[in-house]
Structure 1
Amino acid sequence: MSDRILGAACVAVGAAMAWAAKDYAAPISYEPVGPRAFPLLLAGLMVAGGAWLVVKPTMNGHWMREAPLKALAFAVVAVFVYALLFEWLGFTLATTVMAVPVGMAFGGSLPKSLAGGVGLGLVLYLLFDKALDVVLPTGLLSFLFGGR
C-alpha cells in the first residue's frame, strides 16, 4: 500500500513541478536546451514512475504488500539533503552522496551502491554538461571539471 501512496505523491509533486516550470525562460538564449527542459523532463519521469507505482500489479496479485517504510522515509530525507548540498558539493558528489545510502537502504551492498552512485553522478554530469550543454555546479570537484 505504501508503494501506491508514494506513487500518488510522485504524481502530485511531478505535476506541481511541471506547472511551476512551464513559464521558465531565459532572458537571453545562452543554452540550446534552455532552463525549462530539465525540470519538465524530471516532472514527466516522476509522473510516469508514480503512475506506474499506483497501477502496477503487486506480488502474488495482492493489492496490499508490505513495503520498506523506513527505506522510503530515508530516501525522502536523502533527497532533501541532496538539495541542501547540491551547490556546495557539486552535482557529481551530491548525487553520489545521495545515491549510496539510498541504494543501501533498498538492499544494495556498499560496493555496488558506491559504484552505482559514482557512475550515476559521472554519467549524468557528462550527459548534461557535455552532450546537452547544461551547466551544472562542480562544487568541490571544480579542479577536475574546469571550475564552474
Structure 2
Amino acid sequence: MNDRTLGICALILAAFMTWAGWDIEAPFAYEPVGPRAFPMLVALIIGLCGLRLAIKGGNPIEGNSLAANSRIALMVLGAAGYAFLFQWLGFIIATALMTVYVGRLFGGGWLKCVAGGVIMGVFFFFLFDRLLDVVLPTGLLGDLL
C-alpha cells in the first residue's frame, strides 16, 4: 500500500460521509449551525488530505509492527466503548476516561494522563455546551452542572 492508495481511500470515505451526512436535519433547531456542519467539515478535511496524498503520493509505506497494530485495535475498541458510554456517563467523564485510556495506551504517565483527561473533559464541555451552545450530555454529573 502506498500514499496514493490511502489518498484514494480517503477520497472515497469523504464522498461517502458527504452523501450520508447531507440530509441530516434536526426536528428543531438546538444549535446555531445545525447537526450537518460537523460531518461536512470532517468530510472536507478528510477529502483535502486524501486529495493531497493522491496527487503527491507514491511513496512506499512500511507495515506496522504487531505492537502498533495491537494498540490500533485497542484504540478502536476504546472508541466504541466511548460511544456506548457517552450518553450514560456524560461528556466530561467519558472524555476524561477516553483521554486517560488513549494516553496510557501510548505510554503516557498516570499523572499526566489523568490531569490531561480531566482538563480536556471540563474545558471542552464548557467550551461547547456553554460557550458554543452545543448540547452535550451531562450524565452522572447532571445535578452538578
TM over 0.5: yes
1:25 lines up with 2:25 in the alignment: yes
Deviation at 1:39, TM superposition (A): 2.9
Mapping for residues 51-90 of structure 1, pairs under 5 Å: 51=50, 63-64=61-62, 66-67=64-65, 68-90=68-90
Deviation at 1:50, TM superposition (A): 6.8
Identity of aligned residues (%): 46
User: Normalized against structure 2, the TM-score is what?
Assistant: 0.74
Mapping for residues 1-148 of structure 1, pairs under 5 Å: 15-45=15-45, 47=46, 51=50, 63-64=61-62, 66-67=64-65, 68-145=68-145
State which structure, 1 or 2, has the greater radius of gyration over its C-alpha atoms.
2
Deviation at 1:48, TM superposition (A): 6.4
Aligned-residue CA RMSD (Å): 3.3
Rounded Cα–Cα distance in structure 2 between residues aligned with 1:118 and 1:8: 37
Contact 1:95 1:121 in 2 (8 A): yes
Contact 1:25 1:36 in 2 (8 A): yes
Corresponding residue pairs, total = 139
Rounded Cα–Cα distance in structure 1 between residues aligned with 2:144 and 2:110: 25
The one-letter amino acid paired with 2:20 is: A
Contact 1:6 1:50 in 2 (8 A): no
- Give the secondary-structure state (helix, strand or coil) at the position aligned to 2:33: coil
* Segment of structure 1 superposing worse, 9-18 or 118-127: 9-18
Deviation at 1:75, TM superposition (A): 0.7
Deviation at 1:110, TM superposition (A): 1.2
Rounded Cα–Cα distance in structure 1 between residues aligned with 2:101 and 2:8: 24
Structure 1 segments, 4+ long, off by >2 Å, are 4-19, 26-31, 38-45, 48-52, 54-57
Change (3 A) 1:14 1:74: farther
Deviation at 1:69, TM superposition (A): 1.2
